[in-house]
C-alpha cells in the first residue's frame, strides 16, 4: 500500500520569476519521469506529470494576458503513451491559442523529454545538456531461478497463448520476443516520424535513432536543436516572439510551492519508495511498459 501523502490542492497561481512589463510569458517546468501515474512519496507533491502538465496549459489559456510559453524540460523521458499524449497536448494548445512556444533543455532531455520539445517553435539547449536516447525500451525480468531457490513456483491458468507474455515466472519464447520487438520497432518508427516531421533540419539518414546520446552542442550541429544557450536565451527568444523585450516571466505553482527564479522546481520524486528495496517484476501495480527513455539505471522504470 502506498503511504498517505498530504498534497497541496490549491489552484495554480502565476508567480513572477523575472520582472518586466505587464505582458507575461509563462514558464512551464517539466521534470522527471513522464508517466501517467502519481509520483507519491516523502518530500513529493505527488502530482501526476501528465495531469499537472495539462492543468498548467489550461491555466495559461485562461489567464488571458500571456503572450508566449517556455517549456523548461529536465527529463530522461517516460512511457511511450504518456510522452505521446503530453506532446499532443502541447501541440493542440499551440493550435488553439496561436501562442509561440520555446523549449529549453536543462541537464537531460532524452527520449520522451525531447519528443515533447519537438512541439515547440524553437528549441534551446544548454551546451552541456544530454540529448538523444531516441529509442524504445521494455524492461522485463526473469525470476524463475530466484523463485526456485525458495521453492516457489508459478501456477498460471491461461486461455490465450500470449496472455502472460513478459511474465517474470518464465523465460520469453522466441515468438514472444519477436512480437514484443515488433511493437518496439513500431513505436520507434513513430518517434522517428514525429521528430523528422517537426525538425526538418535533421537529415533522415543521420544516425541518431539508435538510442545514442550527445551534448547540446552536437545536437545543434545535427539540427536536433535550434540554438545552444541558457535559460536567459530562451526567455529572450520568447520575448521576441511575444513582441515585447520587457515581458515579465511567470511560473505556475501552487500556493505552498513558491517560485522565485526561472530555475524553481517542484519536488516530485517518490523518495520514500526509492529508498525501499524493490524487486523487479514483483511490483504488480507497476507493470512493465514500453518507454521512450534513456535508461542508464533500470531503477528509472515506473
Q: Closest by alpha carbon to 72, among 251, 257, 267, 301?
A: 251
Mean pLDDT confidence for 141-154: 71
For the chain, percent of residues with pLDDT exceeding 70: 77
Check whether 245 has a pLDDT greater than 50. yes
Give the residue among 20, 106, 108 at the shortest CA–CA distance from 70.
106
Rounded mean pLDDT of 140-159? 72
Percent of the chain clearing pLDDT 90 (strictly above): 56
Q: Quick one: pLDDT at residue 40?
A: 56
Within-domain flag for 187: yes
Q: Over range 134-145, report the average pLDDT.
A: 84
pLDDT at 103: 99
User: Is 13 within 8 Å of 2 (Cβ atoms)?
Assistant: no
Give domain status of residue 161, yes or no: no
User: What's residue 46's pLDDT?
Assistant: 62
Q: 90 in a domain, yes or no?
A: yes
- pLDDT of residue 279 exceeding 60, the answer is no
Contact present, 176 and 162 (Cβ < 8 Å):
yes
Nearest in space to 66 (alpha carbons), one of 75, 56, 76:
56
| CATH code of the domain in which 30 resides | 3.90.226.10
Provide the domain limits for residue 190: 13-140+176-300
Q: Is residue 18 part of a domain?
A: yes
Q: Would 199 be classed as within a structural domain?
A: yes
**How wide is the angle at C-alpha 222 spanned by C-alphas 221 and 224, nearest 5°?**
110
The model's confidence at residue 298, banded by pLDDT at 50, 70 and 90, is low
Q: If pLDDT is split at 50, 70 and 90, which confidence band does 6 have? A: very low
Per-residue model confidence as pLDDT tens digits over 29-70:
999 999 988 765 443 446 789 999 999 999 999 998 999 999
pLDDT of amino acid 38 = 78
Number of structural domains, the chain? 1
Residue 54 resides in a domain: yes
Judge whether 34 lies within some domain. Answer: yes
Determine the average pLDDT of the residues in 120-149: 88
Note whether residue 131 is domain-resident.
yes
At residue 9 the predicted structure's pLDDT band, cuts being 50, 70 and 90, is: low
Reported as a pLDDT band with limits 50, 70 and 90, residue 21 is low
Amino acid at each position: 500500500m502506498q503511504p498517505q501523502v498530504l498534497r497541496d490542492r490549491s489552484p495554480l497561481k502565476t508567480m513572477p520569476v523575472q520582472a518586466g512589463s505587464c505582458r507575461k510569458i509563462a514558464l512551464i517546468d517539466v521534470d522527471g519521469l513522464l508517466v501517467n501515474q502519481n509520483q507519491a512519496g516523502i518530500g513529493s507533491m505527488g502530482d501526476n506529470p501528465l495531469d499537472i502538465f495539462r492543468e498548467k496549459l489550461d491555466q495559461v489559456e485562461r489567464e488571458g494576458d500571456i503572450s508566449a510559453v517556455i517549456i523548461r524540460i529536465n527529463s530522461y523521458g517516460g512511457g511511450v503513451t504518456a510522452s505521446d499524449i503530453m506532446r499532443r497536448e502541447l501541440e493542440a494548445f499551440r493550435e488553439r491559442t496561436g501562442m509561440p512556444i520555446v523549449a529549453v533543455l536543462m541537464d537531460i532531455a532524452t527520449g520522451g523529454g525531447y519528443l515533447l520539445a519537438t512541439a515547440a517553435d524553437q528549441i534551446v539547449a544548454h551546451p552541456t545538456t544530454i540529448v538523444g536516447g531516441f529509442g524504445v525500451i521494455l524492461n522485463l525480468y526473469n525470476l524463475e531461478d530466484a523463485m526456485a531457490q525458495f521453492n516457489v513456483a508459478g501456477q498460471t491458468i491461461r486461455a490465450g497463448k500470449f496472455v502472460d507474455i513478459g511474465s517474470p515466472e518464465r523465460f520469453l519464447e522466441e515468438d514472444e520476443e519477436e512480437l514484443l520487438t515488433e511493437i518496439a520497432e513500431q513505436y520507434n518508427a513513430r518517434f522517428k516520424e514525429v521528430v523528422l516531421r517537426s525538425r526538418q533540419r535533421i537529415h533522415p539518414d543521420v544516425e541518431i535513432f539508435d538510442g545514442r546520446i550527445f551534448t547540446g552542442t552536437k545536437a545543434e550541429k545535427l539540427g536536433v536543436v535550434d540554438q545552444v544557450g541558457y535559460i536567459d536565451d530562451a526567455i529572450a527568444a520568447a520575448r521576441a516572439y511575444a513582441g515585447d523585450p520587457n515581458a515579465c516571466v511567470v511560473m505556475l505553482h501552487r500556493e505552498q510551492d513558491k517560485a522565485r527564479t526561472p530555475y524553481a522546481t517542484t519536488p516530485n520524486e517518490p523518495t520514500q519508495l526509492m529508498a525501499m528495496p524493490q524487486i523487479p517484476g514483483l511490483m504488480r501495480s507497476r507493470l512493465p511498459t514500453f518507454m521512450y527513455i534513456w535508461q542508464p539505471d533500470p531503477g528509472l522504470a515506473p
